[in-house]
Amino acid sequence: MSEKDALSVDGCAVFYKQSKFILLDKQLIEFATIAINRPDMKNQHDVFNRVMPKDNIAVICFFESRVTGARIILVNVHLTWDIALADVKVIQTGILMEHVTKLAEKYARMPAVKDKKMITVPLADDGVMPPHVEPGPSQEYRTNTEIPLLVCGDFNSTEDSSVFDLMSKGRVPPDHLELGNYQYGSFTRDGIEHPFSLRDSYSLTKGTADELTFTNYTPSFTGVLDYIWYSTNTLEVVNVLGPPDASYLSRIPAFPYWHYPADHIQIMTELVIKGRKDKKQLPEREVDFGSGRG
């Protein structure tokens, strides 16, 4: 890709502390490429005319805690922004969750990290080696829904959208209004679904003084488009970052602005992994750290 073309492409990045987590796998999801190569979609005009021109992507990472051995799937996504492409947004989300489901099945079978002590821990920012903590054994997960899951990013979708329905309810029927009369293979024949129990991290602030009423603040639109979804059976929200100060906003017509360099604001959540009564440790076997795509 040329430097000029790169300026108009939306990307995703995941940053993590190597001193706390081991990256077991990473996958790049290119929605357009996947859609045009699906057997049930590759010959359909709507895929070529509506989905293929959009270069949006997602990144899926699989981590293990160096200390506890707990594993977690982290997904970062950026859907297309165009309000006229609500169908494309839910197709992109369907492709994403389909891949998360399949990868989680693979990750549930992934063997333990053989020797965490041999995996280098980087120096801290000040050049000092972090204090030594005895690493815990890798935890075992029997099914794909037992692995803690976070799906976050810019969904460019409001609470009344098919994207929100799919993430929060686990299913969008084939006759959903936003799918219209478009043809997208099994997604428009059978509907779109995923097996995870997901909730928006900020849902707990609804109706309170801390409710997040927007993540996008522009002259033409103010509303929530960004979300941090978490698996309710494995994770629990402890805290969330509050909204910008109301008195400050009263003086600012829109973002970007001096203290907010983008039209979207930062959102953040603090979570804990729920305890498991049936927690098991995996027998130590070798893990292939080179199987993921860059």
Contacts of 137 by beta carbon, 8 Å cutoff, 6+ apart: 69, 112, 281, 282, 284
Q: Which tokens in the block code for residue 69?
A: 């051995």
| pTM for this entry | 0.89
Task: Please compute the mean of the pLDDT values over residues 85-90 and round it to a whole number.
Answer: 99
pLDDT for the residue 1: 60
Structural domains in the chain (count):
1
Instruction: Please tell me the number of Cα atoms within 13 Å of 269 on its side-chain side.
Output: 24
Q: Is 247 a domain residue?
A: no
Which residues span the domain enclosing 177? 3-197
pLDDT for the residue 289: 33
pLDDT for the residue 91: 99
Q: Per-residue pLDDT for 292 more than 50?
A: no
pLDDT for the residue 288: 37
Q: What is the CATH number of the domain that holds 122?
A: 3.60.10.10
More confident residue, 247 or 201: 201
Query: pLDDT for 156-193, tens place per residue?
Result: 999 999 999 999 999 999 999 999 999 999 999 999 99
Average pLDDT of the chain is 90
Q: Is 250 a domain residue?
A: no
Query: pLDDT for 113-130, tens place per residue?
Result: 887 766 766 666 666 666
What is the band of 42 on the pLDDT scale with cuts at 50, 70, 90?
confident
Q: Per-residue pLDDT for 277 more than 70?
A: no
Q: Per-residue pLDDT for 285 more than 50?
A: no
Q: Is 54 a domain residue?
A: yes
